[in-house]
Chains A and B, each alone.
Chain A
């Protein structure tokens, strides 16, 4: 062994042993939620005064990134209540086209800052406060049915209604395939669920649904002074975001990340087809819907802070009865019908158009979509994957108080019924399916032709 190598190894040893001295940790509120320092009335007054500027800043950012106009296609969502929006909405930087971008390397795109802003992580409307934000139609319906207030005084929902799922979403049950949509065109709440579902579900499913519709304290909606709702609140229910077991577009921040400034936004995921999903939570890989149901009251509700949860009155559903019953109900919610797919989740050539069949070919081949979105596994692979989008943009920049860091591995999300749940990606940064085709074309380096992109889109609309 050379003297240089010996010295090197000794240095490693010394470094390893000497660095065992105790050091100060970072401040505790880098992880734990600090208690408020101001009275509630002062916080509310300040928040309300800040609100116009908050919404203005956010809305400018959205308009810089996207074309938010209302351009319905002639495809309707599964309940027939809202059209699917048409066209690519992510705006290109000047001087490039989708094709010219696709020809560049990730390094070149990063160097020349050419990644479209709309492809970068999407900020929460008020990052440093964060928390659950509900769309107006949900707020109005719950106010009307339950006289429970879901409106925050510091922020509002940011996306235009036409870019969100239909409301209320239809409900398809695996135990009632002959009936179709059993929602009766209503939003399920604690007031009407029994009348609507009695005779269609079992007692354990009914009890599970009752729990899913019962409000429990949450970080912004609770009875302490640390809240963002005007009056002390009973809280929120699971289906306040997962309306009718689907999604109404409500968003919050990932509970699984610190520090606050880099916590990414999470668009509510649909609960349809939970029966075939083996991992739950975009970053947490919970292995059963029971685990998720049991723990969500400390994560989504309280940002992964069990200390704050304890103070505000967290509900801890009991694992022996409540949790399994809630899971029993969630596990009978079906995907919407896809009449063109056969039992193997492949297009039936007697029912599909030429364009859709060509799109399936792209999906299975050049598009590489099926490598993660496996048709026979409900277009899932039960894995988390890291797309490493940080190859394309400089990390560490801040937009509207949100720091763009690498997202890291995220769970593959299902494509069954995908036309029903805009916006897309875990944070909702892609307004339409056409945007997702452009996104993956760039990120995976596929070099799809315009025709292939259109065919792929046609196929996605059949799922």
Chain B
């Protein structure tokens, strides 16, 4: 997994010019200092950057907490593995977000917000296979929303470092989503959806094979 992340980062780095996004200037914050004509100076956030830090901050923290809970409570081995991977990946990206937020002088949110608190409350009531399914269902939704949120930051933000962070996280989040889709398909007996259906990676193919074996029995 680390190799994948590194490889993905390397590929994007080689195709990146020195500056990252070239957005629509009409959305820039007024009076942003420019490092070159038409290019905002680093670490000056516009409104969307600030909101992104709030949303990604609370979401990332909730992900890390949820993953640690699932590492303990998950019933199925693949779900435990998935949770372990999430805990690692989100710990790292939460650190990166925190340092970018500090550089941009935007405070991180103080709590995970009512939506995530409600999700945790739901999970704490459940055990065994029921926990696994509920946790994966939540993860599917969270990762779907994050895929859109990252692209939204790339489109509407002006802080190049934040946008680059969003851009580099996107393939990793899609990989998480794909794994969640594959495991969810196996646990519920439904066919795989999304990327797990159209272009399974080696990791998710293992899940699909397990599903096929199970239904053939």
Cross-interface CB contact of A128 among B8, B23, B55, B145, cutoff 8 Å: B23
A126 to B138, CA, bound (A): 35
Q: How far is the CB of B4 from chain A (nearest CB, A)?
A: 9
Q: Which of B24-63 contact A (CB under 8 A)?
A: 24-30, 34, 36-39, 46-48, 51, 55
A57 touching B22, Cβ below 8 Å: yes
Query: In the complex, are the beta carbons of A395 and B130 less than 8 A apart?
Result: no
Q: Are B23 and A398 in contact (CB-based, < 8 A)?
A: no
Bound form: Cα–Cα A326–B198 in Å? 40
Are A37 and B122 in contact, CB atoms less than 8 angstroms apart? Answer: no
CB-contact partner of B133 in A8, A37, A43, A394, under 8 A: A8
A14 touching B198 in the complex, CB below 8 Å, given contacts A260-B155, A396-B171, A401-B154: no
- Contact in complex: B130, A7 (CB < 8 Å): yes
Neighbouring B residues of A34 by C-beta, 8 Å: 27, 156
The A-B contact count (CB < 8 A) is 172
Which of A54, A154, A398 gathers most chain B CB within 10 Å? A398
Is A174 an interface position by the 8 A CB rule?
no
Complex CA gap A62/B36 in Å reads: 25
Instruction: Decide: A29 and B48 in contact? CB cutoff 8 A.
Output: yes
B48 surroundings in chain A (CB, below 8 A): 27, 29
Within 8 A of B (CB), among A397-440: 397-399, 401, 403, 406
Main secondary structure of the interface of B (DSSP, over half): helix
Does the CB pair B21–A401 fall under 8 Å? yes
Query: Can you name the residue of chain A whose Cβ is closest to the Cβ of B199?
Result: A390
In the bound assembly, the distance between CA atoms of A395 and B174 in angstroms comes to 8
Interface residue? A110 (CB, 8 A):
yes
Separation of A386 and B197 alpha carbons in the complex (Å): 13
Set B19, B34, B131, B156: member contacting A11, Cβ < 8 A: B131
A24 CB contacts on chain B under 8 angstroms: 113, 115
Are B22 and A54 in contact, CB atoms less than 8 angstroms apart? yes
Q: Tell yes or no: B82 within 8 A of A by CB.
A: no
**In the complex, A397→B169 CA distance in Å?**
10
Name the residue on A nearest B132 (C-beta): A11
The yes or no answer to A262 lying at the interface (CB within 8 A) is yes
Q: From A259, which residue of chain B is reached at the shortest CB distance?
A: B151
Determine the residue in chain A with the shortest Cβ distance to B21.
Answer: A401
Task: Kindly supply a per-residue 1/0 record for chain A positions 1-39, scoring 1 wherever the CB is within 8 Å of any chain B CB and 0 otherwise.
Answer: 000100110111011001101011011011000101110
Of B9-17, B83-91, B93-101, B209-217, the stretch lying at the interface with chain A is B9-17
Complex Cα–Cα for A50 and B37 (A): 7
A129 at the interface (CB under 8 A from B): yes
Q: How many B residues touch the partner, as a band?
A: 35 or more
- Which of A11, A26, A42, A47 touches B149 (beta carbons < 8 Å)? A26
- CA A397 to CA B156, docked complex, whole Å: 18
Min distance, Cβ B160 to any Cβ of chain A, angstroms = 11
B125 at the interface (CB under 8 A from A): yes
B195 in contact (CB, < 8 A)? yes
Q: Which of A226, A262, A390 contacts B26 (CB 8 A)?
A: A226
Which residue in chain A gives the minimum CB-CB distance to B32?
A38
- The yes or no answer to A388 lying at the interface (CB within 8 A) is yes
Closest residue of A by beta carbon distance from B11? A397
Shortest beta-carbon distance from A131 to chain B in Å: 9
Q: Which residues of B contact A14 (CB under 8 A)?
A: 122, 125-126, 130, 134
Are A29 and B37 closer than 8 Å at their CB atoms?
no
B residues 123-156 near A (Cβ < 8 Å) are 125-134, 137-138, 145, 148-149, 151-152, 154-156
Interface pair A390/B198, CB less than 8 Å apart = yes
Q: With A10-B130, A27-B51, A388-B198 known to touch, is A50 a contact of B28 (CB < 8 Å)?
A: no
* Interface core residue of A29, A106, A226 (most chain B CB under 10 Å): A29
Report the nearest B residue to A113, measured CB to CB: B11
Does the CB pair B130–A129 fall under 8 Å? Answer: no
Chain B residue nearest in CB terms to A154: B25
Contacts of A126 in B (CB 8 A): 22
Chain A residues near B27: list those with CB within 8 A: 34, 36-37
User: Which residues from B are CB-within-8-Å of A258?
Assistant: 148
Measured between beta carbons, the chain A residues less than 8 angstroms from B195 are 390, 395, 406
Q: Contacts of B39 on A, CB cut-off 8 Å?
A: 49-50
What is the minimal beta-carbon distance from B141 to any residue of chain A, in angstroms? 8
| A396 with B170: CB separation less than 8 A | yes
| CB-based nearest A residue for B172 | A396
Task: Report whether A262 and B11 are in contact in the complex, using a CB–CB cutoff of 8 Å.
Answer: no
The interface residues of chain B lying within 8 Å CB-to-CB of A129 are: 23-24
Q: Is residue A89 contacting chain B, with contact meaning CB distance below 8 A?
A: no
Chain A positions 70 through 107: 1 when the CB is less than 8 Å from some CB of chain B, otherwise 0:
00000000000000000000000000000000000010
Contact A49 B29 (CB under 8 A): no
Q: Are A30 and B129 in contact (CB under 8 A)?
A: no
CA distance A11 to B170 in the complex (A): 31
- Does residue B77 face the partner (Cβ distance < 8 Å to A)? no
Q: A345 at interface (Cβ–Cβ under 8 A)?
A: no
Taking a contact as CB atoms under 8 Å apart, the answer to whether B122 and A18 are in contact is: yes
12 contacts between A and B (CB under 8 A): A14-B126, A27-B48, A34-B27, A34-B156, A37-B46, A38-B25, A42-B30, A46-B25, A259-B148, A260-B155, A396-B174, A398-B170
Closest 5 CB pairs of A and B: A11-B130, A49-B37, A49-B38, A50-B38, A396-B171
Name B residues whose Cβ lies closer than 8 Å to a Cβ of A. Answer: 8, 11-12, 15, 17, 19, 21-30, 34, 36-39, 46-48, 51, 55, 113, 115, 118, 122, 125-134, 137-138, 145, 148-149, 151-152, 154-156, 167, 170-171, 173-175, 188, 195, 198-199
Residues of A within 8 A of B (CB): 4, 7-8, 10-12, 14-15, 18-19, 21, 23-24, 26-27, 29-30, 34, 36-38, 42-43, 45-50, 53-54, 57, 106, 110, 113, 126, 128-129, 154, 226, 258-262, 386, 388, 390-391, 394-399, 401, 403, 406
